[in-house]
Every structure is written in structure tokens, then in C-alpha cells.
Amino acid sequence: MKYWQDKVVVVTGGSSGLGLVLSQSFVAAGCQVILAARGPEQGSQAVKTIETGKARFVATDVTDSASVNQLVENVIQHEGRIDVWVNNAGRSSRGLAQETSVEEFEELLQLNFLALARCSQAAIPQLIKSRGHLVNIGSLSSKTASPYMGGYAASKFPVAAYSQQLRLEHSSSSLHVLLVAPGPIRRQDSTPRYQDQARDLPETAGKPGGGVKLKGICPQRLADKILRACQRRKPELVVPGYARFLFALAQLCPGWGDWIVRKMTGSRGAKQAHNAD
């Protein structure tokens, strides 16, 4: 695609999952992509799946300011500019909210939100110069909470607020800010990821999205939608789109919103679930 030809893209958490698919999609569109993640071995393997010469890996800890600043300096030194920065690094969790430790909340906030803010602050000056795109990968949990997700929703809600504030503050500048709020994304690895955390919770809690009754999103289709949303400089991308109606309803009538979430997740409430076990 002509629009993307030779643009420089940084993807945090770019060595696996949606981050890797996004990296591959940007390269296919003609971009030079920098995959930023912690693990050098996984990062090197990820680069091998992408067209030679169009992607490289930079070991980065997004929870460390010095590491993030070094990443920005590395990209400017080698590529001379940054056109797109994708804040994709993050993780989910499982557990009852009242039983999630403060330390776990802190850990999730550090990775899912504070790291995103740290990276954004480092990248925005470069993105303004290039009239570029800041893409913040949130979740449906950035808009509405679900039961049994531990500290995940609390760490993702700030992503939506931060993205909106950036849009408002940069409405007259050349910076485009996109919030992406997807439901559960299909993974090639079908091995359960949260079974240990969800051992004492309802069976659905260990499933993708905490058991939300939504079809898994194809990561390639989501990546294509993200690229199109950037080209159109859209403020938000919610997938599936009809989830926006739930968000609107929840704002108008929280009780109805809660009822719909319980129906969509098969949740009966923590007290009822424990009594049934």
C-alpha cells in the first residue's frame, strides 16, 4: 500500500501474538518494523518469520524508562524517524477482585498502563514530527469490566481515559491517537493460560475473555482493521463493533449493563458461584 511505503513502525510486545501479526502486516504493507520485547531468543525467531531486511528486534523492558528511551534513540539513530508506535505489550489475569493483592494490581498497572504511558511520552515528540500514529491496544475491558478477571480491568480502564485525553490535548496537532478495544483474540497456541489462577473460580473464568460469549477474533483481520483505522485517523476501534451498544447502555443504565455482562459471561456472582461448588 502506497500510504505505508517506507514508514517506520515500532511495536512493543511485537515478538508474539497480536504484536507479531501486526509487525508482519506492517511489513507486508511496505513498512520498516522494529519489534520491541524482552526476550532476545523469541524476538530473533519472530524476525525470521518476516521479510528479510524489513524488520529487526530490539530487546526492551517497557517497564523501565531507561530501556524505553534507549529504544527510541536506537530507532532514530538507525531509521531517522518514527511514524507509528504501537503500545501492544500487556497481559491478562484471573481472580476475584477482593482477593487480588495490591501487589498484583500494581504489577498489572505497571505493565498494562504505566508502561503504555511511559512509551507514549517517549514516542510522541517523534510522532508529532512525522504526523504519525500512536496506537494503544486496550481491550473490551478498557470499556467494561467482567467478573473473575482479577486486576485486569482496573489496569486496562486507564488506557481508554489516557487515549482520550491525548486526543483532546493534541486535537490541533499532527498526532493521531487510536484506541483499539478488542474482545478475545484467537491464538495459535490453544494451551490454557489461566487455569491455575482460575482453579477456585467457575469453569468459564479460565477461558479467553473470562468466558465471554464472543467468537474469537482473527488476529490477521484485527491487524488489517488497525491499519485501515490508522489511515482514516479514527479515534477508536472496537471489535466486535456491536459492543459499543453495550458500552452506551452501561453508561445510561449501569444495572442493565451489569445484567448483559452477566448474561454474556454466564456469571452468577461470586457468592452464588461459591455456594454452588
CA nearest 123: which of 149, 84, 152? 84
Report the DSSP beta bridge partners of residue 95.
149
Binning pLDDT at 50, 70 and 90, where does residue 231 land? very high
Q: Looking at residue 275, what is its pLDDT?
A: 43
**For the chain, what is the radius of gyration of the CA atoms?**
19
Q: For residue 11, what is the enclosing H or E element?
A: strand 8-12
Report the DSSP beta bridge partners of residue 171.
none
Which range, of 53-62, 144-153, 208-217, averages the lowest pLDDT? 208-217
Q: Looking at residue 191, what is its pLDDT?
A: 57
Q: Looking at residue 199, what is its pLDDT?
A: 64
Q: Looking at residue 215, what is its pLDDT?
A: 77
Q: What's the rounded mean pLDDT across residues 136-150?
A: 91
| 171 has pLDDT over 80 | yes
CB of 197 closer than 8 Å to CB of 93 = yes
Which range, of 15-29, 39-53, 166-180, 217-231, averages the lowest pLDDT? 39-53
The mean predicted confidence, pLDDT, of the chain is 89
The string of pLDDT tens digits covering residues 237-251 is 999 898 888 888 888
Q: Looking at residue 189, what is its pLDDT?
A: 64
Q: Looking at residue 213, what is its pLDDT?
A: 61
Binning pLDDT at 50, 70 and 90, where does residue 101 land? very high
| 276 has pLDDT over 50 | no
| 187 has pLDDT over 90 | no
Q: How far are the Cα atoms of 95, 137, 166, 177, 202 from residue 163, in angstroms, in the given order?
A: 27, 10, 5, 7, 33
| 38 has pLDDT over 90 | yes
Per the confidence metrics, is the pTM higher than 0.85?
A: yes
**Distance of alpha carbon 150 from alpha carbon 129, whole angstroms:** 39
Q: Beta-carbon neighbour count of residue 169 at 10 Å? A: 11
| 150 has pLDDT over 80 | yes
How would DSSP label each residue in 112-169? IIIHHHHHHHHHHHHHHHTT-EEEEE--GGGTS--TTBTTHHHHHHHHHHHHHHHHHH
CB of 13 closer than 8 Å to CB of 35 = no
List phi, psi (to 5°) of 184: -60, 130
User: Which of 172 and 167 is assigned the larger pLDDT?
Assistant: 167
Q: What's the rounded mean pLDDT across residues 104-122?
A: 97
Peptide bond into 240 cis (omega under 30): yes
Active site residues: 152
SS3 category, 172: coil
SS3 category, 32: strand
The string of pLDDT tens digits covering residues 48-75 is 999 778 999 999 999 999 999 999 999 9
